[in-house]
Structure 1
Amino acid sequence: MQRIRLRYTKRGRLRFTSHRDFQRAFERALRRAEVPMAYSAGFTPHPKVSYANAAPTGTGSEAEFLEIALADRRDPEELRALLDASLPAGLDITDAVEASTSGLADRLTASVWELRLVGVEPQEAGHAVSAFLAAETVEVTRLMKNGVRTFDARSAVAGLEVVDESATAPADRPQDTPCAILRLVVRHLTPAVRPDDVLSGLRAVADLAPPVPAAVTRLAQGLFDEESGSVTDPLAPDREAVLAGPSKAAGPAAAKAPEGAGSA
C-alpha cells in the first residue's frame, strides 16, 4: 500500500465550502481520476483518506493537507495533476509527495494567517496589535459544541504584526479605501485559537472593529520553529527521505532529522 500526502487550497468563493463539502468533492475527484484507492474493512468500506486540521468555513487557505492510501503505486506528480483537473477551480492540488515518514499531523503545530481589514487604517491596527501583544492574557468568548466558553486567545499567538499593504493590495481595490493587513502566527493549542478569536481579542483590548468582515487566508501551516519564529513545510521530511533513498527513508531517524528544514 502506497501513501501519498497532498497539499491543497481553498481560494475565492470556495473558501465558503465546509469541510464536509470538500470531502464530498474530493471523493468524487478520486472516482473521476480513477485513483486506485485502498479501502477500509467492514460492511461499509470507505476510501482511506486522512484529513489534517482543516481551516474553518469562510476562510481561504493556501496550505491544507491530507493523506490517501493507494492499492497500487502511482507517480505522485501525475496523481496530483489528475486530481487537480478533477476538482473545481479554487480547490487546487498544489503539491504531492509519497509519505516516507510518520507523523504528518504531529508536524502541524502552527499556522500563518493573513487578515485583511478593509476600512481600517494601518496605524490604527498597529496600536491595537501593540495593545494585544502587551497583554498577559486576552480573554475571548466563543460558542462551541458544549456551549459558550471563555478562554485566553493571547497565549497561542506566537507572532502578530501589521505588514505593508501596498505589496499585497488587489488591483481592483479602490485606492482611497484604507486597508490594514495583519500577519498572524498562531500555535495549535487546545482549545484552538482561530483568527476570529484574535480579532475578538483586538476588539476587547483596543476597540478595533472593522466595518466589514475580515478576509482571512491561511498562508502556511507546519512545525513551529521556536528559535526563528517561522513555520516549516510539513512535507519537507518526506521529500528529503525520498532523496535519501529507501534505506534511510525506512529508518526512524529519517522521520525526525529533517523536521526543521524547509521554511514555508
Structure 2
Amino acid sequence: MPRNQPEQQAPPVQRIRIRYAKRGRLRFTSHRDVSRAVERAVARAGIPMAYSSGFHPHPRISYAGAAPTGAASESEYVELGLAAVREPAEVGAALDAVLPDGLDVVTVVDGATSLPGSLSDLLTGSRWLLEPTDTDPAVLAAQVQRFLAEESVEVERMTKKGLRTFDCRAAVVAFGPREGSSSGALELLLEHATPAVRPDDVLTGVRLVAAADATPTVLLTRLEQGVLDRAAAALADPLATR
C-alpha cells in the first residue's frame, strides 16, 4: 500500500530575529547543545511556533553564524518562524526568562522590518576579542605585525570534506591591539569567506610566520557580527530597520 503523505504545515505568518549572547561557562557549550536549550526555552515560553512539513515536523528555528565551542559571544543569531503574530519585545522577554543563565537575549526585531535577505546573507564579517593567557602580549603583538606583513599565509585544517589548505591572511581585515586595553588584548576583524576562516586559523598562521613553537592560547569572545564594509573596516547591524 502507498505510504500516506504527511500533513502539509502552514508557512510562518511572522519571522522574529533574535540576537543573543553566550557568556560565562556556556562558552564551552557546543552549538548542538545551545540549539537544544533554545528549543526547550521556546516550548516553555509558550511561543506559537510554525512547524515544518514532513513525517517529522519540527519548529521553524534557524541559526546563523554560530560561534565555535570554547568561544564566548555577544553576537549570536536565531530566527523563529511563528504561527501567530506577536510583539517582538514580548517574545524576547518570554524567551529570556526561561533560557539558561549565560544565554541572554540582547535584541529582538520583526524580520519584516529588518534588512532584506537571510541572516546568513547578512553576516559577512565578525569582530573578535583575543585575550592572551600564556603568551607575552608584547611578543604576540610583534608576531601579529609580522603576520600582517605577509600577502598570503596558508594553513591546514581538517573539515567535513577532509584536510583543506587555505589562505587565512586574505580573510583578515584588521588585527591589532584593542584600544584602551592594558592586558595586551587584541581585536580581529574577519571577513566570512569560503572555506570559513576562524580565529584559531589566524593564530595558527601567526605561529607559522613567526616560526614559534606553539600556537598562542587566548580567551576568545565574538564581539559582533554583521554586514562587512571592508574599506571602512566596519560592521553594519544585521537587525537594523530597513
Per the normalisation by structure 2, the TM-score is 0.89
**Percent identity at matched positions?**
52
Alpha-carbon distance, 1:146 to partner: 2.4
1:23 equivalent among 30, 35, 52: 35
How many equivalent residue pairs?
A: 227
How far does residue 58 in structure 1 lie from its aligned partner after superposition? 1.1
Q: CA offsets per residue over residues 184-243 of structure 1, 9 Å max, x none?
A: 00000011000000110111111456787311010000001133111111001xxx34xx
Contact 1:125 1:162 in 2 (8 A): no
Aligned to 2:104: 92
- List runs of 5+ in structure 1 lacking aligned partners: 168-178, 242-264
Matching residue of 1:254: none
Distance 2:62 2:160 in 1: 23
Which among 177, 199, 202 is matched to residue 203 of structure 2? Answer: 199
2:3 equivalent in structure 1: none
**What displacement does 1:120 show?**
2.6
| RMSD of equivalent CA atoms | 1.7
Q: Secondary structure at the match of 1:140?
A: strand
From 54, 70, 73, give the equivalent of 1:58.
70
- Residue identity opposite 1:130 in structure 2: Q
Superposed displacement of residue 133, structure 1 = 0.7
Contact 2:72–2:222 at 8 Å: present in 1 too?
yes
**Which stretch of structure 1 is more off in the superposition, 118-127 or 130-139?**
118-127
Give the Cα separation in 2 of the matches to 1:97 and 1:74: 11
TM-score, normalised with respect to structure 1: 0.81
Aligned partner of 2:237 among 233, 240, 255 = 233
* 1:140-189 Cα distance to aligned partner (Å, 9 max, x none): 1111122222211000000100125646xxxxxxxxxxx43110000000
Residue 122 of structure 1 contacts residue 162 of structure 1 at CA under 8 Å; is this kept in 2? Answer: no
Q: Is the 8 A contact 2:134 2:218 kept in 1?
A: no
Q: Which residue of 1 aligns with 2:186?
A: 182
Match of 2:130 in 1: 115
**Do residues 125 (structure 1) and 140 (structure 2) align?**
yes
Between Structure 1 and Structure 2, the one with more helix by share is 1
